[in-house]
Structures are given as structure tokens and as C-alpha cells.
Amino acid sequence: MNLSDSELIINKDGSIYHLNLLPEDIATTIIFVGDQNRVSKVSQNFDSIEVKKEKREFVTHTGHLNGKRISVISTGIGTDNIDIVINELDALVNIDFKTRKIKEKHTSLNFIRIGTSGSIQPDIPVDSFLMSEYAIGFDGLLHFYDTKIPPFTELINAFIEHTNWSNKKADPYIIKYDEELGNKILSNHIRLGFTGTNTGFYGPQGRSLRLAVQDPELNDKLSSFEYNNLKLTNLEMETSGIYTLSALLNHKAVSLNCIIANRSTGDFSKNPEVIMTDLIKYTLKKLTED
């Protein structure tokens, strides 16, 4: 089946609609960052930079480090942007833009998110690093796809009961990291965690400036939830979407979090840029050593 012009949208120069990238512009190892200014903080560590392109909040640099080709792309904020980024990256490698047909040979990409996040446990301090072993999505993205991902039904039901989850919100869903890719990056500098992916930074993460939230106890319920020794550790805004689309499209994904806020103690990192630089350098070292 040929994909129509309105489904697979290709710009006049042959690049994909939002990312503005050609198939040859991306490596198979791709680092995601939320903030476009973080892209050059990653690529300044490369030995050489081959591609620099951007459109909207999606900035891409592709280069080489220690003989390995790596891309870094800013996703902007939220799983709605992740839906665009991962579908378009997958199209770049798995759809033939000339015939508009899905290629017979599948190419698998490695996605590594390097993001910031807020801890919800007092013993996970600011300036620490966390790899999301599991993510629970409060954003609903998974429900728009015909998914065969096995649901963690008992865990989700226990969560819904513990939090008295409002049925006006999207049904939470749970999804795991890619263990093989995770093990390549993991060390005793990084703890494994269970990450909540929210559809906003304020109300959805229980922050109240001038607006009251629907459930002021929600963050306490999130941090007190425990099921088979699994406790929720931190909140951010992309991981569940990255894990879901990677699993559905047969790519590998891992999400790394710099803990810059601790929601239970009220702390915020004194120098988030320094700890982010540490995590970037650490991750690049792990990705390029063999």
C-alpha cells in the first residue's frame, strides 16, 4: 500500500514534515533531549558534526564520537511531541520515500533520553541520576494505537485503587525499558526507577500556583503506592510515550533522568546545568565504549 500525501508528509526537499530531516541525516543511535539548547551541549562533545538541521523545537545534530555515529534531537516537551518525533524517525528508516511503501527490511533504532525530572521519594535526592525501568503513562498516548503490548493489569488495578484515580483522566498504562540497552548504560552511578509520565508540569504533577488541583493528595498517593516492592520514583513528561512507540515500532529505548527537583522535600538543584553536563558526558562515554 502506498502512503498518501496527507499521511506521510514529505517536504519539497525530500525531508520528513516536522523534523526536516532526510533519511541519511540520522544515525541509528539517537539521543533525545527535551530542551533545544541541550542539543549543542551533547554535540559539543562529538569529534565532528556532520548534520545540523532544525524546524520548530526539533533541532538535530548528527556527528561522530570515538568512531561511532550518533544523532541528538530535541523533542520539546510532552508525549504529543514524542508521537511526532518517533513516528517520523521510524519513517525515515523504515519507509521508502520514493515508493511511499513500508520497507521489507526493518531497521531498529536505539533511543536514549537524557532529561530532567522531579523525584517524589525523600530518599532520591536532587542531583542524582535515575534510569526508568518502568514508566506509568498518565497521558493516554498508548490508547490511540492498536497495541499488543501485554498490560500490567494487576499493577494498574492496584494503582487505580490506591490513588482512587478519577475516571475523567486517561487510564494509566505501564511499559518497560529495553533491558539490553539499559544494561549498556547502567552502573552504580544510576538507580533504576518507576517513572510517572504526566501530561503537564503544573496540575498534572500536583503543582498548584494559583489553580487548585482536582486531587491535592495525589503526589502523596503516588509516593506511598507500593506493589511487589515496586515504588514510583519520579515524574516527568515523555518516558511512557518513548517506551510505548519504541515497543510498538520495534526500536529500543531507555530514559535517563537528572533529578533536579524533589517534590517531597521541596528541594530544587542549586546547579541543574552542572549535573546535566555530568549525565551527558557519562552517557556518551557508555555509548561509545566497547
Ligand X SMILES: O=P(O)(O)O[C@H]1O[C@H](CO)[C@@H](O)[C@H]1O
Ligand Y SMILES: O=c1cc[nH]c(=O)[nH]1
Residues that bind ligand Y (CB under 6 A): 116-118, 201, 205, 235-237, 260-261
Q: Which of 17, 108, 151, 201 binds ligand X (CB under 6 A)?
A: 201
Q: Which is nearest to 42 in space by CA: 32, 51, 57?
A: 32
What is the C-alpha end-to-end distance of the chain, expressed in Å? Answer: 41
Cell numbers linked to 42? 551533547
Residue 256 Cβ vs ligand X, minimum distance, rounded to whole Å? 10
**Shortest distance, position 260 Cβ to ligand X, whole Å:** 8
Q: How many residues bind ligand X (CB under 6 A)?
A: 10
Q: Cβ distance 257 to 132 under 8 Å?
A: yes
CB of 63 to ligand Y, least distance (A): 27
* Residues in 138-177 at the binding interface with ligand X, rule: CB under 6 A: none
- The half-sphere exposure of 155 on its side-chain side, counting CA atoms within 13 A, is 20
Residue nearest to ligand X as judged by C-beta position: 34
Q: What whole-number distance in Å separates Cα of residue 130 and Cα of residue 132?
A: 6
User: Cell 523525584 belongs to which residue?
Assistant: 119
Residue 235's binding partner among ligand X, ligand Y, none (Cβ under 5 to 8 angstroms by kind) is ligand Y
Site for ligand X contains 83 (CB under 6 A): no
Q: For ligand X, give the closer residue by CB, 33 or 65.
A: 33
* Least distance to ligand X, CB of residue 119, Å: 13
Judged by CB, which is closer to ligand Y: 16, or 131?
Answer: 131
d(CA 87, CA 246): 9
Nearer to ligand Y by Cβ, of 147 and 265: the residue is 265
Binding residues vs ligand X (CB under 6 A):
33-35, 77, 115-116, 201, 236-238
